[in-house]
Structure 1
């Protein structure tokens, strides 16, 4: 196996693990699957955490996690999918910040998810990805990756400013 295939396999493994995790988290929020609160329960949590329009924020977070996770699993629009994950994790870190660093109350898990997503945005999805079938995305410019991450961070900051 040549080095490129090893790297592509590693990126695929990372995308599958992170993407599946985020997809399932989003499904908990949107549909109440896997013991999640669904939109109603998640909306109540968001409202108690200081977000206005908790139900709307639950839908936004659920869609970002579900679609971002699916995009990572498929390796489709990878920088944007990763940016969606980074944005939701920035908000998760802000909500849990007072719990310190270590789990279960701290932010170590959320920081790890955000860092993994940012790394995938910057490195690209690898060779085993749907992005490889789209000529314009095949070697997406670093500017697209950085711009996508900036969009995710700025969106997260805007939501946090609304939270107050």
Structure 2
């Protein structure tokens, strides 16, 4: 049986992972999918026009569902997919570190493109939620208890 502290762990994972996906999806939609489509075209992602619309909605809706802990196992799968594609098509060539300092200006450090560290952290967090479940404070838990 899990202790109360162990029941909190999935909640903290869900809140930060879900918020991250919500933020990324919202930015892509608010700036318009056309800019994201250009990036997808440059990186050789298939069907860039369709993908520029689908990915932001996967991130936004998937992020909301992760925060709520709703259908967590199944929602994590397409989110992991988006992270893998981003990592393999964009971040891999920039190395591991998510903070690539490339210079120092009078205003502070200048950063280059991020590496794949953040992608791996999102993937690891999502896999952890898939393996452990969404926790006590989740829609998934309520659905399971309702069936009992």
User: Which bin holds the TM-score, normalised by the shorter protein?
Assistant: 0.7 to 0.9
- Whether 1:83 and 2:83 are equivalent positions in the alignment is no
Structure (1 or 2) with the greater helix fraction:
1
Does residue 29 (structure 1) correspond to residue 24 (structure 2)? The answer is no
> What 5-or-longer segments of structure 2 have no aligned partner?
100-113
User: Which string of whole-angstrom CA distances, capped at 9 and with x for unpartnered residues, describes residues 113-143 of structure 1?
Assistant: 111111111110000001122138979xxxx
TM-score, normalised via structure 2 length: 0.81
Structure 1 segments of 4+ aligned residues over 4 angstroms from their partners:
136-139
The structural deviation recorded for 1:84 is 2.0
Alignment match of 2:132 (pick from 123, 132, 144): 123
TM-score (normalizing by structure 1): 0.74
1:59 aligns with 2:53: yes
Q: Which runs of 5+ in 1 are unaligned?
A: 33-37, 140-164
Give the strand-richer structure, 1 or 2: 2
- Tell whether 2:19 aligns with 1:20: yes
Higher relative contact order (CA 8 A, sep 6+): 2
Contact 1:131–1:137 at 8 Å: present in 2 too? no
Aligned: 1:111 with 2:131: no
